[in-house]
Amino acid sequence: MPADWQLSEKDLTFEPVDSFLNRAGEYALFTVDPPWNAYSKRLHPAQHFLIHETDKDLLDQLALRVKGVKTVAGFGGGRAIDAAKYVSLQTGAEFLSIPSIIGADAYITPVAAIRTEGIVTYVGNKFASKVVIDSELIRSAPVRLNRAGVGDIYSTKISLLDWKYARDHAGAKYDPRIVEEAEDVLSQLFASKKDIFEVTDEGIRSLARMHLRLNALQWPYIAEGRTWPQEGVEHVFFYSLEKVTGRTFAHGEVLGTGCVVGAYFHDSNEELVMKELDSFGLKFRPADYGISFDEFASTINHMKEITEAMHSRYEILDDRRLADSQVKELWDLLAH
C-alpha cells in the first residue's frame, strides 16, 4: 500500500539550480549531458554519474557506490531523475528532483521507472524533499521537448475513457469526484495553452502544478495496480514502442501518438485529438520522431503483451484488437 501523497506546491521551489545546490551540502548527482556539460563548473557534487539507461542491475551497483551519502539529486530528464530516485530509495538518502526539461512528469512522481530486460517496472515510494524548477535552465532545452510536457496531462483524456470502459464492462469502481477534478486539470491545460506554447515562466509553472495535481489524484489507485485518472493505453503505446524498437524517445511526444491510438481504440474522435494536440505545438506524428510503419504496427500489436509483462490491465485491450487494415488507417491518419 503506498504511503499518503506527500508533495504539495510548497515543495516546489522556483530558483536557479546552482544557487539551490550550492546550499545543499554534500550530495551525489545523477545527471545526463546536457545539462551536465553546461553546469559542470558551476556545481560541486561529491560524486556525479552520467546516466544512459535505467537498468536495475546497473542502478543497484551505483547504489553501493553512494552508500553513506545523505543526499542524492537527479538533474536532467526522466532517466537521470528516475535513477536518482531509485538509488535514494535503496540507500535511504534524501532525494532532490531537478528537471532540465518539463517534457514528462518523472520529476514529480514518487515511483521510479526501472527497466529489467527492457520491461518497465515502477518501483518505490520516494518523494522528493524539494523539486527545483529553474525556468532559464528549462528554456535552454529545445522548445519541442518542453511542449512535450502536455503529453502527461492530455493523457488524462484517454485514461478517463479507459476508466469509464472498465466501469461499464468490468464493474470497476468509479469515483465521479476524481473524474471531475481530472477534467478540471484538462480545462486548465487548455487555458494555459499560449504560455505552454511559448514556454513562458507561467507556462512552466502551470505544467509543474498540473503534473503535481494529476499525480496526487492518481496515487491512491497505484495500490490497486491501476493508473487512473492520468495514465491510460497511450502510455502502453509508449512502453511498447521502446520495447519493440530498443530505442528511447521523447516521452510526451510519443504519448501524443498514443492518445490518437487510444482514441481510435475507444471510437472517440481521434481527429479531434490530433487537432487539439496540434494546437499545443506537440510533435506527435511518427514522422516527427522517426519510426517506420512496421515499427508502428508492431508496437500496437504488442500492447496487450506489454500490459501483461507489467502486471497491469486495460480492459479495452482485453476486448479489442485492431485489424491490419485499421492499423494502416491509423498510420495514414497520422501521416497528415
Matching residue, cell 496526487:
216
253 and 324 belong to one structural domain: yes
Whether the per-residue pLDDT at 68 is higher than 70: the answer is yes
- Whether 265 is in a domain gets the answer yes
Q: Tell me, what's the pLDDT at 336?
A: 87
Give the list of residues 6+ apart from residue 267 with CB closer than 8 angstroms, or none: none
- Whether 2 is in a domain gets the answer no
User: Torsion over CA of 121, 123, 129 and 131, rounded to 10 degrees?
Assistant: 0
Confidence grade of residue 238 (pLDDT, cut at 50, 70, 90): very high
172 and 131 belong to one structural domain: no
User: Torsion over CA of 7, 145, 181 and 114, rounded to 10 degrees?
Assistant: -50
pLDDT average, residue stretch 152-167:
98
C-alpha cell at 201: 515562466
- Amino acid in the structure at residue 35: P
Tell me the C-alpha distance between 185 and 164, whole Å.
18
Q: Please give the residue that has the higher pLDDT: either 267 or 336.
A: 267
CB 72 within 8 A of CB 49: no
**Helix 324-334 and helix 270-279: axis angle, to 10°?**
30
Among the candidates 107, 124, 139, a domain finishes at: 139
- Find, among 328, 327, 307, the residue nearest to 317 by Cα: 307
- Whether 240 is in a domain gets the answer yes
Q: What is the pTM of this model?
A: 0.93
90 and 223 belong to one structural domain: no
Residues 128-140 pLDDT 10s: 999 999 999 999 9
Q: Tell me, what's the pLDDT at 123?
A: 87
pLDDT average, residue stretch 237-255:
95
Percent of the chain with pLDDT over 70: 99
Q: Tell me, what's the pLDDT at 312?
A: 87
Residues 253-280 pLDDT 10s: 999 999 999 999 999 999 999 999 999 9
CA atoms within 13 A on the CB side of 309: 16
Whether the per-residue pLDDT at 3 is higher than 60: the answer is yes
Confidence grade of residue 311 (pLDDT, cut at 50, 70, 90): confident
Q: Tell me, what's the pLDDT at 306?
A: 94
165 and 292 belong to one structural domain: yes
- Whether 47 is in a domain gets the answer yes
The distance in angstroms from the start CA to the end CA of the chain is: 45
Range of the domain at 79: 9-139
Whether the per-residue pLDDT at 2 is higher than 60: the answer is no
Among the candidates 91, 124, 139, a domain finishes at: 139
Average of per-residue pLDDT values in the chain? 95
Say how many domains are in the chain. Answer: 2
Among the candidates 89, 114, 139, a domain finishes at: 139
CATH code of the domain covering residue 15? 3.40.50.1970
- Find, among 242, 333, 324, the residue nearest to 287 by Cα: 333
115 and 156 belong to one structural domain: no
173 and 285 belong to one structural domain: yes
Whether the per-residue pLDDT at 36 is higher than 70: the answer is yes
Q: Tell me, what's the pLDDT at 161?
A: 98
Q: Three-class SS of residue 55? A: strand
Q: Tell me, what's the pLDDT at 1?
A: 41
- Whether 59 is in a domain gets the answer yes
C-alpha cell at 286: 511518427
- Whether 1 is in a domain gets the answer no
CATH code of the domain covering residue 166? 1.20.1090.10
Percent of the chain with pLDDT over 90: 90
Q: Three-class SS of residue 248? A: coil
Phi-psi sector, 73: left (phi>0), alpha (psi -120 to 50), beta: beta
Tell me the C-alpha distance between 52 and 61, whole Å.
14
Whether the per-residue pLDDT at 14 is higher than 50: the answer is yes
CA atoms within 13 A on the CB side of 320: 19
- Whether 224 is in a domain gets the answer yes
50 and 157 belong to one structural domain: no
pLDDT average, residue stretch 196-200:
97
Whether the per-residue pLDDT at 291 is higher than 60: the answer is yes
- Whether 3 is in a domain gets the answer no
Matching residue, cell 481510435:
264
